[in-house]
């Protein structure tokens, strides 16, 4: 079980009927405990969501309500703490919702601010639009070119709202406004979260356990991570796997920062002149990865 404020999640890997029965017993115990301590459950809000590529066991779960058994509703996707999770963990619904929300706010800004200086726009855009596109992006960060481009189009349209830079190309507008691409911002966010996890800024019981390389001969930093072989694109682009090559490419003086703020400053200086900061199709510098177009050509 995981708890956050008054929100609880009970989970189990279901391989057979016995696993299903164990999870049902857990639900019964939770209901019994809540009744004993006069903590009333809102059963209408209790839902079931199964994650997996090929779910063969059709599990049904119940919670006792008075003298009846209330069957929990099964969902295809669910909104949890502001992120929409679907059963395949592709986050299509979440990305589409955030894009629509961002366009809606851009419309409000356009109707109420007819003339904006560059500084005014950047301040409003960062606080009212980009914040929606970046919330919890370490979880749902896209890897499909269609999703990446659709997110970037929001910032493209936004920067055209400034009359003085309207006729420039997207990359030139970003450089002039000092606004990195959204893809760069997601990568930067990944590195910050990786730093917090590896340097134990979080509770060790609630984060990923990265396997660190113990070979001092290998090039890289003192916290270099051991890569994991995966067979599916979806898993390859999960946070725990996608950050490894980029993290390993960072110099030791960056990852050995004494605080999170120092790490951010050193990372920004190290990446300051990288092409991928303002060109979302460029290579991520220092990782040896293929170009964006080559990587997604197929």
CA 160 – CA 168 distance, rounded (Å)? 9
Based on the domain organization, do 24 and 54 belong to the same domain?
yes
Give every residue of the chain whose pLDDT is below 50, as ranges: 286-298
What is the C-alpha R_g of the chain? Answer: 23
Picking from 20, 52, 2, the residue whose alpha carbon sits closest to that of residue 12 is: 20
Do 112 and 174 belong to one domain? yes
Residues 96 and 40 in one domain: no
- Confidence at residue 218, expressed as pLDDT on a 0 to 100 scale: 53
Span 100-145, pLDDT tens digits? 999 999 999 999 987 888 999 999 999 999 999 999 999 999 999 9
**What local confidence, expressed as pLDDT, does residue 289 receive?**
42
Among 159, 179, 199, residue at a domain's last position: 179
10 & 106 share domain: no
- Domain check: are 66 and 40 in the same one? yes
DSSP 20-49: HHHHHHHHHHHHHHHHHTT----GGG-EE-
pLDDT at residue 291, as a whole number: 37
pLDDT, residue 227, reads 83
Domain that holds residue 42: 2-75
- Indicate if 228 and 150 belong to the same structural domain: no
Structural domain count of the chain: 3
- Which of 179, 204, 237 is the last residue before a domain boundary? 179
Residues 44, 29 share a domain: yes
Last residue of one domain, picked from the residues 164, 179, 194: 179
- Same domain? For 213 and 275 the reply is yes
């Amino acid at each position: 079980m995981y708890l956050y404020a008054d929100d609880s999640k009970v989970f189990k890997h279901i391989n057979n009927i016995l696993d299903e029965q164990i999870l049902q017993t857990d639900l019964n115990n939770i209901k019994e405990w809540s009744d004993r301590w006069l903590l009333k459950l809102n059963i209408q809000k209790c839902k079931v969501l199964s994650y997996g590529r090929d779910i063969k066991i059709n599990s049904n779960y119940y919670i006792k309500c008075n003298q009846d058994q209330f069957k929990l509703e099964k969902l295809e996707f669910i909104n949890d703490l502001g992120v929409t999770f679907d059963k395949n963990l592709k986050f299509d619904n979440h990305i589409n919702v955030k894009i629509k929300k961002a366009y809606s706010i851009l419309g409000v800004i356009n109707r109420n601010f007819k003339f904006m200086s560059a500084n005014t726009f950047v301040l409003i855009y960062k606080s009212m639009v980009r914040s929606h596109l970046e919330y919890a992006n370490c979880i749902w960060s896209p890897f499909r070119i269609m999703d990446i481009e659709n997110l970037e189009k929001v910032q493209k349209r936004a920067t055209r709202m400034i009359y003085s830079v309207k006729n420039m190309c997207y990359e030139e507008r970003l450089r002039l406004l000092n606004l990195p691409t959204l893809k760069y911002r997601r990568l930067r966010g990944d590195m910050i979260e990786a730093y917090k996890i590896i340097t134990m800024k979080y509770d060790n019981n609630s984060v990923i356990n990265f396997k660190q390389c113990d070979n001092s001969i290998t090039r890289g930093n003192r916290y270099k991570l051991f890569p994991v072989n995966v067979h599916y694109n979806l898993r390859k682009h999960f946070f725990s796997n996608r950050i490894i090559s980029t993290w390993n490419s960072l110099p030791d003086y960056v990852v050995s920062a004494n605080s999170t703020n120092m790490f951010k400053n050193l990372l920004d200086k190290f990446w300051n002149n990288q092409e991928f900061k303002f060109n979302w199709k460029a290579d991520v510098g220092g990782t040896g990865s293929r170009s964006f177009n080559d990587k997604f050509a197929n």
